A and B are shown apart, each in its own frame.
Chain A
Amino acid sequence: MEIRGRCWKFGDNIPTDKIVRTDMIFKPWSEILKHVLESCNPEFPAKVKPGDIVVAGKHFGQSSGRAIAAKAMKQTKVGCIIAESFARTFYRNGFEIGMPLLECPGITAQVSDGDILRVEIESGKIVNEKTGGEFEAKPTPPFLLDMLKAGGLIAMADRLAGEG
């Protein structure tokens, strides 16, 4: 699975409340998508394009475990999220809905907004086409790659339930 897209860079410790504001939770997607991460970068909701790549600092998606934060990121159609580290509930929720996530400590110092990045999810190889820099993300456990390929947890659990 290879993804190539423009980089949107964010800082450390971004809470789910900033990915989707609490007062937006019950709004339709069309409304939610106008506000995703807006307090971190007001341009993001309007200008993010399918296949773009979000790069964040430490502990992305902290705070509440609400799955809507990961879903909103998927709804923006970004190709993947690379972070120095993720909050554990966000990490679970991401794979659960089939959103590729990579952990790559030190990555935020190596990329800038607008750089074109090329990412190979299985191997974790990240290339910054602008600078030529190459980086290795932490390997993703094979069963999570299977979950991504199946389209998420429920698709996979369905299969497991069928076997049981």
Chain B
Amino acid sequence: MGKAFAEKVLARAAGLSDVRPGEIVDVYPDLYMSHMASWRCIRTLEKMGTDKLYDPERIAMVMDHISPARIAKTADDQRLCREFAVRKGINKFYDVEAGIAHVVLMEAGHIRPGMVVIGTDSHSTIYGALGALGTGVGFSEITAAWVTGKLWMKVPESIKVIIEGPLARGTSSKDVMLKLIGDLTADGATYCSVEFHGSYVERLSISDRMTLCNLAMELGAKNAFVRPDEITRSYLGERGVPPGQYTEIHPDPDPVYVKSVTIDGRSLVPQIACPHTVDNVKPIDQVAGTKVNQVFVGSCANAKYEDLVEAARILKGRKIAPGVRLLVSPASKEIVARTVKDGTYSILLEAGALITNPGCSACAGDGGVMADGEVTLSTANRNFQGRMGSYNAEIYLGSPAVAAATAVRGVITDPREFL
């Protein structure tokens, strides 16, 4: 029997020839990402009373979640990180203007196939979009890795998700994942490595792969994976990372999967995750017409360049409904620059959008919160109660196309009406 991706990559990072699901191994991750929690890592390091770092080149810090600072305490925390980075020679330091950590690190070429990446953020599963194993851990675990270089990991079992394409009109990678989360439920892949296969995934854009791998977290997955291919190599090549600088790891042809699931994208309809759980998923016709106060296009799941272009395709030449707030928070500075250059930015502005600086924004409760009784349609990855302001507010999740169509009508709207 062959091995799945997770077994092969963890064996490599643990320096072992062979590992099996269920086995606990000491892994030496290739990159330790910390975001807003970086200051907590630094304070924990101070408490440990050590100053010796295992390898500063493996440390990446991005000042996201709250950016720029809104209170003096946050400004102080961010200064601590900035000064620490200079003092310790941490080259992969990205300040408050950069955007959402995951997207920033991928755009900068720091995430490569075959890597093991740990991050202080549960959506670190996104790194599977470039054929790496990414997984979330707490900030103290990042601190311990800074010092010891290693982390305990249980080798996960693997689930195979086969997505057959091309996707039906008006649907996207977001709809695929919402359908999958609705079918498998929020703990459908707990502790597991989720591998995406099938005709839809072949030659899929990195942006869509990011959406797939990001949302795998909402199945409880430990990590996610899309097999690196020509698309991956060209994405990295454009970012100054030639194939000689990484080693791809592919699953064997015949691994043991604990579960195999097929999604037929050819018959998919737009999907909506309804309040207050991500697995409360319904086809859009069951919730179309629900009045919204706010539409949010943002988060590491769906605020990439391609997502903003998709929203702009529907918003072009239209205005958002009176009384509705449309909040757009691009995932990175690079994305802002691209949308400014090609006119997407102007289309969104003219339609009535409030475009914020790049970052986590409303998804992390950093602005864009709701009053009692309000409703938001969001492209983010979570809709738990209390996540965006009032506890008595509701969040619906959908694709960028659904968000744009909903902003225009002021009620949850099927984007196919505009296509």
Contacts and interface: CB of A to CB of B under 8 A. Distances in A.
Interface of A: 12-13, 15, 17-18, 21-23, 26, 39, 58-59, 62-67, 70, 85, 87-89, 92-93, 96-97, 141, 143, 152-154, 157-158, 160-161, 164
13 contacts: A15-B384, A22-B365, A58-B187, A67-B138, A67-B139, A85-B190, A87-B187, A88-B191, A141-B24, A143-B152, A157-B143, A157-B148, A161-B50
Contacts of B389: 23
Nearest to A155: B48
A68 to B, nearest CB: 9
Nearest to B139: A67
B187 A62 contact: yes
B138, B191, B385, most chain A CB atoms within 10 A: B138
Interface of B: 24, 44, 47-50, 52, 73, 120-122, 136-141, 143-144, 147-148, 152, 185-187, 190-191, 220, 222, 277, 365, 382, 384-387, 389, 391
Contacts, number: 99
A158 B48 CA distance: 6
- Which 10 A-B pairs rank lowest in CB-CB distance, beginning with the nearest? A59-B187, A67-B138, A157-B144, A65-B122, A65-B136, A17-B384, A93-B138, A21-B386, A22-B365, A15-B384
Contact of A154 (B47, B222, B382): B47
A94 to B, nearest CB: 9
Contacts of B44: 154
B121 A85 contact: no
Nearest to A86: B190
Nearest to B143: A154
Contacts of B144: 153-154, 157
Given A62-B186, A63-B122, A157-B148, 6 more contacts: A64-B382, A143-B24, A143-B152, A152-B140, A153-B144, A164-B148
Nearest to A87: B220
B138 A65 contact: yes
B37 to A, nearest CB: 8
Given A22-B386, A65-B136, A93-B138, A88 B222 contact: yes
A154 B48 contact: yes
A161 B391 contact: no
B81 to A, nearest CB: 17
Nearest to A59: B187
Contacts of A12: 187
Contacts of A59: 186-187, 190, 220
Contact of B187 (A13, A21, A97, A153): A13
B365 A23 contact: yes
B279 to A, nearest CB: 8
